[in-house]
């Protein structure tokens, strides 16, 4: 179970933890004195280094990592969805939307830019490509993501192809009905990786293809991205994934520790 840290009146998830707890109810034997740091019959797990980001690959045992599940937290590094994880203290610029043609719309926010291609008849996305240089964290949502999600199957979310944390309020053409477990699980894990790259000063260039193109509810999303050093133009890392639009999808990301040790920070 991942600790939740409360700071003042807001809860910061996945930021720092002193312990990983193994929660299990024990059988109480009469006449036996139990010593337990938790005042109920739970076992405490091993202690982690204090003030250390939890890394699912290096800091947790396989059993602890599996307990997080594919559809849960997504990433156990510092939670990039929290406002303090953004690059500007939570004060993000508004999105700027430009209609390029009957089937293309461009969205800019800060140093981030993307172009969405869509079917003019259905208004549904075909593909999207963009460049991410900043992570603005969690900001108020005023677009139609909830309504777009209702176009799909019961329980679907309105999934922002490029991520609300990067582009803010998005035109409908850049949002697709997405299985809830995919949106909050594997897809979020991918976004968390992209955000981590930007926090180290790198640039993420991505392309997302929707199948079938222009479908009201896509069956599949195919993603590809490269990580670029903006100072030299060198491509340092690339990855591709295919996500079925259903529960149970996974994404194998490069960890925060690997990024730091293998590529370093440009900031």
pLDDT at 267: 86
CATH no. for 85-263: 3.40.570.10
**For the chain, how are helix, strand and coil distributed in percent, rounded to 5?**
20, 30, 50
Q: Where in the chain is the domain with CATH 3.40.570.10?
A: 85-263
The C-alpha atoms of residue 75 and residue 131 are separated, in whole angstroms, by 22
For every residue of 238-251, DSSP letters joined together read: EEEEEEESSTT---
Say if CB 44 and CB 25 are below 8 A apart: no
Say if CB 167 and CB 160 are below 8 A apart: yes
pLDDT band of residue 1 (cuts 50, 70, 90) is very low
In the three-class reduction of DSSP (H, G, I as helix; E, B as strand; rest coil), residue 207 is classed as strand
pLDDT band of residue 92 (cuts 50, 70, 90) is confident
- Quick one: which of 199, 1, 172, 171 has its CA closest to 82? 199
Read off the pLDDT of each residue in 127-155 and give the average, rounded to a whole number.
Answer: 96
Say if CB 23 and CB 42 are below 8 A apart: yes
End-to-end CA distance of the chain: 33
Read off the pLDDT of each residue in 53-67 and give the average, rounded to a whole number.
Answer: 44
Task: Say which residue, 142 or 89, is predicted with more confidence.
Answer: 142
pLDDT in tens, 142-176: 999 999 999 999 999 999 999 999 999 999 999 99
CB neighbourhood size of 187 (10 A): 25
CB neighbourhood size of 36 (10 A): 11
Say if CB 165 and CB 82 are below 8 A apart: no
For residue 129, pLDDT over 80 is answered with yes
The C-alpha atoms of residue 146 and residue 172 are separated, in whole angstroms, by 10
The C-alpha atoms of residue 259 and residue 57 are separated, in whole angstroms, by 13
pLDDT in tens, 207-232: 999 999 999 999 999 999 999 999 99
Read off the pLDDT of each residue in 30-39 and give the average, rounded to a whole number.
Answer: 42
pLDDT at 30: 52
Burial class, 112, CB count within 10 angstroms (exposed 0-12 / middle 13-18 / buried 19+) = buried
For residue 237, pLDDT over 80 is answered with yes
pLDDT band of residue 86 (cuts 50, 70, 90) is low
The C-alpha atoms of residue 115 and residue 205 are separated, in whole angstroms, by 12
For residue 250, pLDDT over 90 is answered with yes
- Quick one: which of 227, 206, 220 has its CA closest to 115? 206
């Amino acid at each position: 179970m991942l600790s939740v840290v409360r700071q003042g009146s807001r809860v910061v998830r996945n930021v720092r933890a002193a312990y990983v707890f193994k929660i299990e109810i024990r059988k109480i034997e009469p006449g036996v004195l139990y010593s337990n740091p938790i005042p109920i019959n739970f076992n405490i797990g091993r202690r982690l280094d204090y003030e250390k980001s939890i890394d699912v690959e290096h800091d947790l045992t396989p059993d602890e990592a599996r307990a997080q599940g594919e559809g849960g937290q997504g990433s156990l590094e510092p939670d990039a969805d929290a406002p303090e994880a953004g690059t500007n203290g939570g004060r993000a610029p508004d999105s700027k939307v430009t209609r390029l043609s009957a089937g293309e719309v461009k969205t800019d926010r800060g140093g981030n830019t993307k172009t969405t291609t869509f079917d003019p008849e259905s208004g549904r996305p075909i593909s999207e490509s963009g460049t991410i240089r900043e992570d603005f964290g969690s900001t108020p949502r005023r677009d139609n993501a909830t309504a777009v999600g209702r176009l799909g199957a019961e329980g679907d979310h309105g999934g922002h192809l490029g991520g609300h944390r990067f582009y803010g309020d998005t035109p409908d053409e850049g949002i697709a009905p997405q299985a809830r477990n995919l949106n909050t699980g594997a897809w979020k894990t991918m976004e968390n990786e992209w955000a981590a790259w930007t926090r180290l000063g790198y640039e993420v260039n991505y392309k997302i293809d929707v199948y079938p193109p222009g479908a009201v509810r896509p069956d599949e999303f195919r993603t590809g991205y490269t990580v670029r050093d903006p100072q030299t133009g060198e491509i340092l890392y690339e990855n591709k994934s295919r996500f079925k639009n259903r529960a149970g999808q996974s994404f194998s990301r490069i960890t925060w520790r690997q990024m730091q040790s293998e590529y370093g920070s440009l900031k």
